[in-house]
Structures are given as C-alpha cells and as structure tokens.
Amino acid sequence: MGRRLVALAGDAGLAVVEAVEHDGHPELGRDAGELAGLESLGVPLGKTLGTDAGVVIDFSLPDGTRRVIEHCRSAGLPMVIGTTGLTDDDQKQIDTAASEIAVCQATNFSLVVNVLWKLAAEAAQLLGEGYDIEVLEAHHRYKKDAPSGTARTLAQRLCDATGRDFARDVVFARYGEDAPRQPKDITVQTLRLGDHAGEHTAFFATPGERLEIKHVSTSRDSYAVGALRAAAWLVDQPAGRYDMADVLGL
C-alpha cells in the first residue's frame, strides 16, 4: 500500500514529502519514488516521522498506528487511518486524538466498497424480514486479521439497517452436527486465497430467489486512490472524526 500511495499521489494532486517504515526494514534509506517505480523523489525511506507533511496517511499494523496517532496529535497533523485489526482501546485513542486533530478512519477506502455498504443497507431495509443475510469475504493468504475490517463494517451496516444487534446476531463461524441458521443470524465467512486483493459479497436469500451485491478488487490501487482522496479532503477540515461517507457525501 505504501508503494501504491507514493506512486499515485501525484495523480491526486499531492506531493510525497516523507515516507516511513518500521525500524529494521531492508529498504530504509532508499528513495521512496524509486521503490514505487517512479523517478527519484528525493525522499529517502526513513524510520522516524517528522512534521513537514500537511497530512499523514497510515496503512500499517496496530502497534505502528498507535505511535503515529500520538505523533500526529502532538504535531497537529491531520491523519488518515487505513490500518485494520484495531482494538476498542485503539478506537478510544482515536476518539481522543480527534478532539484535537482531523482524523479520517475507514476499514476500506475503495469508493466502490463504500457504495456497496450503502446499497447493501438499503437492500436489507427494502427486503425486510424473511430474507437470510450473509457475508463472505476473501483476501490473500498473508492477511493477518480475520474477518476483514471491511466485512465487519458491512455486517455492522446490515445490523443497523435491520435493527439487529452486532454482538448477538453476527456469527463468525458455523459448524457442527446441529448448527441450523437462526432467523436473525448474519454469518461472516472468511477465505484466504493466494494473492487475492479482496472480495466482499452480501447475500440476501429467501426460498426461490437470491440477491448478491459484490465488490471484487483486482489491485490495491482502488484503496490507495480512495485514501489519497480522503487525505486531500481532510486537510481543510476542522478537528473531528470522519469516514469515507463524509469524504464522498454519502
């Protein structure tokens, strides 16, 4: 994601002024532009985030994101957060930071995925009771968290649209000799397949017919484009917590 953000930043009217990786990364010191397949940008890959940026985009792991949040908060820098697998305590940290800086967090920055969330919620409301609702997600074999943050958000939007309770009605596994589907279940199933960039499907089914609303990603560029769009939008916003629905006006 970092390389694609660097590669596509110019198309979004943004300039890369810093690029940071974890201490010990094998490419530290190399030019970020060259790593992204561009000409040299004069921006070496570093391990310490400075204060020269107008906005920071973070796609990392939870430990890294926690440190970046505190840095942005102390430096007064707006922050776009694309890291998934964050805990409830992490969300509280983001809430605190958002009282002082502008923060845009999303479990998926793809414009199409955000439209998927909206359409799936509307479909659930229109179809009403009597339709089984299920979610299937697939990603590459190296993805650490499961299910994906995108799938969890999709399940949450479906719960909100139908009056379900996420903690009670969302199921993350179904197995055994006696495991029938309960009327309000929303089961989120996970696949890990090779180098799959990402796929999410919402199913609505009743005897005799089925509706599927699906997003299939064929590259990470869709996520990078959305994150860069969010960054360009965020620099003009006051302190607060935002998501892609705010960026896109959904």
| 170-171, strands of its sheet edge to edge | 170-171, 186-192, 132-139, 199-206, 209-216
CA distances to 152, 155, 173, 188 from 179, rounded to whole Å, are: 22, 20, 10, 15
Cα gap 194→191, rounded to integer Å: 10
Q: Are 138 and 192 in contact (CB under 8 A)?
A: yes
Q: Are 210 and 203 in contact (CB under 8 A)?
A: yes
> Which string of DSSP letters, residue by residue, matches 151-164?
HHHHHHHHHHHHT-
Write down the catalytic residue from 71, 139, 200, 215: 139
Write down the catalytic residue from 22, 25, 140, 143: 143
Query: Catalytic site residue 47?
Result: no
| C-alpha closest to that of 195 among 141, 116, 129 | 141
Query: Catalytic site residue 184?
Result: no
| C-alpha closest to that of 185 among 169, 200, 203, 201 | 169
For the annotated catalytic residues, the residue numbers are 139, 143
